[in-house]
Structures are given as C-alpha cells and as structure tokens.
Amino acid sequence: MLIDSHAHLDSPRYAEDREALLRRAWEAGVRAVLSIGIGDGPETMHQALEIAREFKDRPEIPTIFASTGIHPHEAQLADEKAYEKLDQLLQQPEVIACGEIGLDYFYDHSPRDIQKAAFRRQMEIAAGRKRPIIIHCRPSDGSTNAWDDTLQILEEAWKPTGLGGVLHCFTGEWDHARRALDAGFLISFAGNITFPKAQPIRDAAAQVPLDGILVETDAPFLAPVPNRGKRNEPAFVREVAAKLAEVRGISPELAASRTSENFRRFFGTGPQPERPAD
Ligand SMILES: [Zn+2]
Ligand SMILES: [Zn+2]
C-alpha cells in the first residue's frame, strides 16, 4: 500500500480525467492521497476539500484527505477574508492539515516580508484548530536562505505547539532535515529524488530515519523518471517509493508500507493495511 502525501488534485490539468487517474492510482496500490488545497490563491483554496467529498467512499478510488492554505507565491493575496476562510476550512473533518505554507525565495512572487507575515499568521490559525502544517520551502539559487528563515520561524513559533508537520518535496541538506525532525516534522520526498543530478536529495533520503519519511508526487508537477517532463499523477508515487527503497537498500514493499504507516501514525487517520485474501 502506498500513500501520496501531496498532490494538487484540483489542478485544471485534471479537469478531463480526474476520476480515471484516481482509478489508475488505486491500481498502482495507492490507498490515500492528501489533496493540497492552495488552489491558485485564497479564492480557490476550498477546491481540494470539494474533491475529497466528491470521491468519498467510492470503490477502487483512494481515500482523499484535504489540506488548505495560502502558498507563499500568493502571500500578498492574504487578507482578513482569506484568513477567515482558512479558519473555517480547517474546522472540516476532511481537512487534516494547513498548507502548503512557507517561504519561496526562488521566485519571490510575493515580497519576503509579506511571505513571512502570511506564514506566521497561518501558523497561528492552524494552531488554534490543532492542525499540523505542510511546509513549502525553496531558497534562492545556490543559497540556503529560505531554509534558514523557515527553520528559525518553525523552531521559535511552531515547535512549542507540539503539532508538527511535513516538509514537502524536500530538497535541503541533512542538517535542515535534522532540525525539522527535532521540531516534530516528517520529511516528504518527491519525484525529483529520481532525477540524475539529485544526488544531494538521495543522500538526505538515505540519512533520515525511516520512521520520519513520507513519499509524495506533488502532481501535476515534477513527474519522476521515466515520466519526467510529462504531467505527473498519484500513481507515479510508486517510482518515488522505489527510488527511496533503492537508496536505503530495502524492498519497495517495505518502503511503501513504512511510509504509509508513518502517514497514519502522524495524522491519526488513513486506510488500514489490507490482509491477504483467503
Ligand atoms: Zn510546494
Ligand atoms: Zn505542492
């Protein structure tokens, strides 16, 4: 069994075949997907929840959970109305996390001080609703600037809540992972773990304790080899788990079951492992 801990199921790129790709995910062994609710800004951050509800209790479709949050790219769209909406969404039972939130100094679509303010405000709202947070962090090219700021903010403002979270699409160094683990975070690896030039990501994946790891697709982005460059989808989380297994010298089945177990333990919900048929 596999769990895709991060996919943008509300992407318009799935408008034509969302149900078919969820069925393909099921066929690939995916039993749950965390549907990330950032939309293309606060106006559409409820769409992930709608998808979770639309596909609830359907046979041969993975269980879909939702998150909700304002991505650092759209931080400058965060106004009181957006924060109110965030707070409302976080009270829904299907919405198990706040995110993805954080800092992106690679694109700098929103000014950095505004990104930091939106990040902190969303942490306060998530803490009020007792939801863990999903972190997006991308530094400037050749720098660790966004990691330094993100980890400092997490250690100071989030660690004391004890709620923890997930560092999604991890691309940092072991020391960043270690500090996040100490603050109660899981480290989630994405399709870029399969890219030939991504040895530093594989090195980190070899070092993080196995009970601190999740796998994700970040679909529709970042499709793993051999589908690199194409539209990504949750079924391809299999390639991510297979690469993780290779890096750690364990079987793909063990990588799949342990990362699924980590998801269930951390979020306190998720599909149970299937017993073999008689
Ligand atoms: Zn992200
Ligand atoms: Zn994402």
Residue 64 in contact with residue 30, Cβ under 8 Å? no
Q: Which ligand is nearest to the CA of 137?
A: 1
User: pLDDT tens digits for 191-246?
Assistant: 999 999 999 999 999 999 999 999 999 999 999 999 999 999 999 999 999 999 99
Between the CA of 72 and the centroid of ligand 2 the distance, in Å, is: 11
pLDDT at 273: 84
The CA distance from 272 to 118, in Å, is 36
Backbone φ and ψ for 25, nearest 5 degrees, come out as: -60, -45
**Best CA proximity match to 2, nearest among 189, 167, 277, 216:** 216
Between the CA of 276 and the centroid of ligand 1 the distance, in Å, is: 36
pLDDT at 278: 59
**Token couple for 12:** 């318009």
Between the CA of 222 and the centroid of ligand 1 the distance, in Å, is: 11
Q: Which ligand is nearest to the CA of 5?
A: 2
Residue 115 in contact with residue 72, Cβ under 8 Å? yes
pLDDT at 277: 60
DSSP run (H or E) holding 131: none
- How large a percentage of the chain has pLDDT more than 90? 97
